[in-house]
Amino acid sequence: MTEDLTTYTEVDPNSHISATSSRMTGTGINRNETAYAYYDKGADYFDALDIYFDIRATNLDLNDILGVFGISNTLNHIGAFGTSDIKVLFYYPVGGARGLYLGTGGALDYMAISVNTTYYCILERAAGSASVNVKVYSDSGRETLLDTLTGTMAAASTKHRYIFGISSQYTN
């Protein structure tokens, strides 16, 4: 089933997020602001996960960080997510490489990425499992696997309510 991204609720006081039915774009979202777009699926909606999504960074400068996807029980920016929430983000840390990161339970796994390249992803989790994977492919048919990012949530029994199409990482 394909999500209509125009149905997501935006918390975007500085108008940095735009959505069409099939694409969500964040432009100029700063680290010192709260901006995100989410959909409330209802309590305990997400357990087993098999979610397909495509992502692309057209610009990722040093120290930039942006949540490009998330599953959470916390209605806030990805920096406020709990230890059993799931976040996928673009990040370019000082001393590191531009990367695609999977965050769960405070830990991050990543792979280096290139800007202006589309990555085709599948977020996977078995029902009742603490293990989460993001498989990253180079093609829309998801046949050429580039990497598998892995994470472990703090509580395997966690079921989630909210899905995020984009989010800031508020860090003052």
Instruction: Calculate mean pLDDT across residues 157-172.
Output: 91
Q: What is the pLDDT of residues 110-120, one digit of tens each?
A: 999 999 999 99
Give just the sign of the alpha carbon dihedral 9, 15, 21, 23: negative
Output the pTM of the full model: 0.94
At residue 172, the pLDDT reads 65
With pLDDT > 90 as the criterion, what percentage of the chain qualifies?
83
Lowest-confidence range among 41-45, 94-98, 104-108? 104-108
Measured distance CA(140)–CA(79) in Å, rounded: 30
Instruction: Calculate mean pLDDT across residues 57-74.
Output: 92
Measured distance CA(120)–CA(139) in Å, rounded: 6
Above 90 in pLDDT, residue 63? Answer: no
Q: What is the pLDDT of residues 137-153, one digit of tens each?
A: 999 999 999 999 999 99
Q: Are 34 and 11 in contact (CB under 8 A)?
A: yes
At residue 169, the pLDDT reads 87
Mean pLDDT of the chain: 94
pLDDT band of residue 2 (cuts 50, 70, 90) is confident
